[in-house]
Amino acid sequence: MTRRILSPSQNLSLGTLHAGQVKAFLALRGHRFKALRCGRRFGKTDFAKTWIKEGLVQGFECAWFAPQHKTWAEVYSETASAMAGLIEHTSKTAGVMRLKTGGRLDFWSLENSIAGRGRRYHRIVIDEAAFGKSGDNKTDGSAMEIWEKSVKPTLYDYGGEALVCSNSAGKNPDNFFYNICTDAQYGFREFHARTMDNPLLPKRLQDESIDEWLTRKEMFQADLMKNNDPLVYAQEYLAEFVDWSGVAFFSREKLLNQGQPVPYPAFCDGVFAVIDTASKTGTEHDATAVTYFAIGHHTGNAPLTILDWDIAQIEGATLETWLPSVFTRLEELARVSRARNGAVGAFIEDKNSGTVLIQQALRRNMPVHAIDTKLTAMGKDERALSVSGYVYKEQVKYSEHAFNKISIYKRNSRNHLVDQVESFRIGDKDSDREDDLLDTFCYGISIALGNSEGF
């Protein structure tokens, strides 16, 4: 179904809905408060953009809410491009578009606890709603508080409509999206769709027959189930509300080979390090963690091996002297692992003291790389989910040295890498566990095995 409007100068397309989106449109039509719960790549954001653009060409005042500025920035650019012929004024800095039709589109971050206050809207979208702050309507800054106290009142003037879109993010009674989908008191009509309900994906290849494409599609869908942890598959692709309580997310069994860590690789393509210098514990000195990896896609073994790790409390002034020791260790590991491309450098989280460290290293011509902001901007749960498939498919292994290593950190003697990886729980918002090595673990997998954006 394609929705269009004819302007004096152009035939403007508002977007084409695939069959699964048409079902959602028909099911939600006529309901003031709509919840679209769907698996990855179903097309929820495209659906929401089409609905909002339809309102704009009718002269409606509209708003788009998202958990973070970065979450709505791409939507802003795409909408501005699609509506270029009708835009009268636009400012990405202010997060506003005004159209010749009289329509207006404001963009808000749910990090702003008073988002939308003082405005009035015909239509609003809350995108990625499951990833706002958890809590009830008495919790400062929670998505539920912002909805009930700031956003919902903006719909009073016009009897406006709300479309709330997201994948699921666990069975969490404090989660805004979980509540509006499961509790009738909030007045939402829900439509639930799986990833497989998008009939256009995977995309048909050029010169591929219908039968060949359908066969490949069945294979892709079977691979999704085979290559993902069952709970990850249920949440990310079936959009079910999964109960993660008490579940160890990264299984030791998957990171070992028949119950044992693996030797250092006899040869590999290259070695690299991932560094996290951000302080999250409020202690006197920053927690600085580094994990070393070997990447090799043609070795006959798992493509990614964890070679070594370290964690320490280091004063900011001594980071500059500590960094050269990382490159010394990288060169040692490159020789031991017979890395064809040698040590390819260190990847550093570009936040807090990490930003300073990157600049210091670049001035000294050290091979450092800032980790892509798309990765660093993600929440810890999202990063873990994004790499879970690689761990589940046993593409990552502990080396004997990394698995058996014991060190003292904050007077605790243990294998801190294994402890942090195995103690991680999805949705454990109140955890005060150390997680610096866990971050390097997830970043390293994303960098080595993910696509160009690290996913």
Half-sphere exposure of 320 (CA within 13 A, CB side): 8
Domain-embedded: residue 237:
no
Per-residue pLDDT tens digits for 248-275: 889 999 999 999 999 999 999 999 999 9
Residues 58 and 155 in one domain: yes
Range with top average pLDDT, 77-81, 304-308, 449-453: 304-308
Residues 305 and 178 in one domain: no
Inform me whether the pLDDT recorded for 411 exceeds 60.
yes
Domain end point (choices 197, 215, 238): 197
Question: Residue 93: what pLDDT?
Answer: 92
Residues 188 and 294 in one domain: no
Question: Residue 195: what pLDDT?
Answer: 97
Residues 184 and 280 in one domain: no
Domain-embedded: residue 224:
no
Residues 280 and 189 in one domain: no
Residues 416 and 343 in one domain: yes
Residues 303 and 163 in one domain: no
Per-residue pLDDT tens digits for 105-149: 999 999 999 999 999 999 999 999 999 999 999 999 999 999 999
Question: Residue 321: what pLDDT?
Answer: 75
Residues 313 and 181 in one domain: no
Among the listed ranges 52-61, 355-364, 375-384, which one has the minimum average pLDDT value?
355-364
Question: Residue 416: what pLDDT?
Answer: 95
Residues 40 and 128 in one domain: yes
Token reading at 120:
């009035």
Inform me whether the pLDDT recorded for 4 exceeds 50.
no
Output the domain CATH number for residue 418: 3.30.420
Inform me whether the pLDDT recorded for 281 exceeds 50.
no
Question: Residue 9: what pLDDT?
Answer: 47
Inform me whether the pLDDT recorded for 394 exceeds 70.
yes
Q: Are 121 and 110 contacting, i.e. CB atoms less than 8 angstroms apart?
A: no
- Average pLDDT score, the chain: 90
Question: Residue 283: what pLDDT?
Answer: 46
Residues 263 and 185 in one domain: no
pTM listed for this prediction: 0.77
Domain count, the chain: 2
Per-residue pLDDT tens digits for 415-453: 999 999 999 988 776 566 788 999 999 999 999 998 644
User: Exposure string (b/e) for 54-68, b if CB count within 10 Å is 16 or more?
Assistant: bbbbeebbbbbbbbb
Domain-embedded: residue 146:
yes
pLDDT tier at 317 (50, 70, 90 boundaries)?
low
DSSP sequence for 40-74: TTS-HHHHHHHHHHHHHHTT-EEEEEESSHHHHHH
Inform me whether the pLDDT recorded for 286 exceeds 50.
yes
Segment 293-309 shows an average pLDDT of 92
Check the CA dihedral 241-245-246-252 and report its sign: positive
Segment 288-305 shows an average pLDDT of 91
Question: Residue 452: what pLDDT?
Answer: 45
Segment 335-364 shows an average pLDDT of 87
Taking CA atoms, 353 is separated from 193, 280, 305, in Å, by 43, 12, 27
Domain end point (choices 197, 222, 240): 197
Question: Residue 431: what pLDDT?
Answer: 60
Domain-embedded: residue 222:
no
Question: Residue 410: what pLDDT?
Answer: 84
Question: Residue 316: what pLDDT?
Answer: 58
Per-residue pLDDT tens digits for 7-50: 444 567 787 899 999 999 999 999 999 999 999 999 999 999 99
Task: Return d(Cα 319, Cα 454) in angstroms, integer.
Answer: 27
Residues 85 and 19 in one domain: yes
Q: Are 16 and 24 contacting, i.e. CB atoms less than 8 angstroms apart?
A: no
Range of the domain at 9: 2-197
Task: Return d(Cα 383, Cα 357) in angstroms, integer.
Answer: 23
Of residues 283, 276, 347, the one with CA closest to residue 311: 276
Residues 177 and 260 in one domain: no
% residues pLDDT > 90 (the chain): 75
Inform me whether the pLDDT recorded for 2 exceeds 50.
no
Bridge partners of 96, per DSSP, are 91, 106
